[in-house]
Amino acid sequence: MRSGRLALVGTAALTLAAAGTAARQETPPFRAATRVVAVYATVTDRDRRLVTSLGRDDFEVRDNGERVAVTSFSSAPAPISLAILLDSSGSMRESLPLVVTATDRLIDLLEPADLAILGAFGDRTAVMPRLTPDRDELRRFLHTRVRAGGETPLWNAMDLAMVYLKDAPTRRALLVFTDGFDTTTLDRGLAAVIKRADEENVMLYAIGCWGGPGSGESPPDSSLRKVTERTGGAYAELTWQKPDDLTPTFSRVSEELHRQYLLGFSPARLDGKTHDIDVRVKTPGLTVRARRTYTAR
């Protein structure tokens, strides 16, 4: 609700003075940049194949429209901290074994230095207590704690999973699988997911599946595509008519996460505001995905 404006002539000067004081108090001071903003980029060709042979000079990075120097660069495979979040709502009852099999394969593809955590959301959201490199620990959770039933608290579960990534020592990513729409937190929960992913630099991936037993007859929430692209991740959409596509799609996410470019730059000022990032490649025919914002502080 918008508050009305007071039109009292006698208090106009006082009101303006107070407003000016408040503005000065709320505006953060500019500071010289002392940090490096890390941007992870995925590059693909026209056939959606990963391109992993580019160098620093093949990229261009803009901060709020102004070109900035790429001060650090790496194309070497690097460890990840990955949260894997599975929809285990009631509509998944018949299809969940296929998702468990695909997740098993994803666990196989983790590198020795990677850390991972598993979670599931349905009757309640259950998440492992800590990130771990132990594949056996991940599988125990997968095969004993992931059970179908209940609603779909999609956004709340994604927000919770990112809490466990907050202090991760390596690059943060969240992969969520779902067959439907959020049925509990709705837009409020989506806003929380966007805010946390932006502030904590979490790359979001989502796999949506539909058209199967118990699932809806329409694709999952369209906001999944928007929020994943905003963070530099990706959204894949499958149907249960082609269940064999599920495991390769999970594996593709692992391949991408391990073959990304690291681009680092120093912002001109740390003003506490949200800045737009635009990452481009100079070679025609290539597509780059990277986070679109950062907070300069």
Segment 105-153, tens digit of pLDDT: 999 999 999 999 999 999 989 999 999 999 999 999 999 999 999 999 9
Q: Are 86 and 106 in contact (CB under 8 A)?
A: no
pLDDT band at 220 (very low <50, low <70, confident <90, very high): confident
Summarize the confidence of residues 165-190 as an average pLDDT: 91
**Residues with Cβ < 8 Å from 271, sequence gap 6 or more?**
28, 30, 31, 296, 297
Mean of pLDDT values over 159-170: 95
Assigned token pair, 86: 């599975």
* Side chain identity, residue 29: P
Q: What value does the mean pLDDT take over residues 272-278?
A: 95
CA distance between the termini of the chain: 31
54 or 3, greater pLDDT: 54
Q: Same domain, yes or no, for 164 and 44?
A: no
For the chain, what is the domain count? 2
106 and 216 inside one domain: yes
Q: Which helix (H) or strand (E) holds 162?
A: helix 154-163
Count Cβ atoms within 10 A of the Cβ of residue 39 and give its class: 0-12 exposed, 13-18 middle, 19 or more buried: buried
Query: 88 and 207 in one domain?
Result: yes
Specify whether 168 is located in the same domain as 206: yes
Mean pLDDT of 184-194: 88
**Phi and psi angles of residue 140, each rounded to the nearest 5 degrees, phi first:** -60, -45
Q: What is the pTM of this model?
A: 0.86
* Residue 58 contacts residue 282 (beta carbons within 8 Å): yes
User: How many CA atoms, within 13 angstroms, populate the side-chain half-sphere of residue 189?
Assistant: 19
For residue 178, tell me if it sits in a domain. yes
277, pLDDT greater than 90: yes
Q: Both 268 and 229 in a single domain?
A: no
How does pLDDT run across 17-36, given as a tens digit for each residue? 333 433 333 334 444 445 89
Q: Is 248 helix (H, G, I), strand (E, B) or coil?
A: helix
For residue 23, what pLDDT is reported?
A: 34
Q: Is the pLDDT of residue 161 over 70?
A: yes
pLDDT surpassing 70 at residue 194: yes
Q: Does residue 245 register a pLDDT over 80?
A: yes
Six-digit token string for 204 = 């979001």
Range of the domain at 282: 37-76+260-295
Instruction: Taking residues 175-190, report their average pLDDT.
Output: 89
Q: Is 13 helix (H, G, I), strand (E, B) or coil?
A: helix
Quick one: pLDDT at residue 213?
72
Whether residue 66 sits in one domain with residue 167: no
Is there a contact between 181 and 152 (Cβ–Cβ < 8 Å)?
Answer: yes
Q: Return the residue matching tokens 């390596």.
A: 170
**CATH number reported for the structural domain that contains residue 197 in this entry:** 3.40.50.410
- 6 near 137, Cβ under 8 Å? no
Evaluate if residue 98 carries a pLDDT over 80: yes
Task: Evaluate whether residue 7 is within a structural domain.
Answer: no
Answer yes or no: do 254 and 266 share one domain. no
Do residues 110 and 150 share a domain?
A: yes
User: Residue 52 domain-assigned?
Assistant: yes
Q: Is 215 helix (H, G, I), strand (E, B) or coil?
A: coil
**Residue 186 identity (one-letter amino acid):** L
Residue 9 lies in a domain: no
C-beta of residue 211 within 8 angstroms of C-beta of residue 123: no
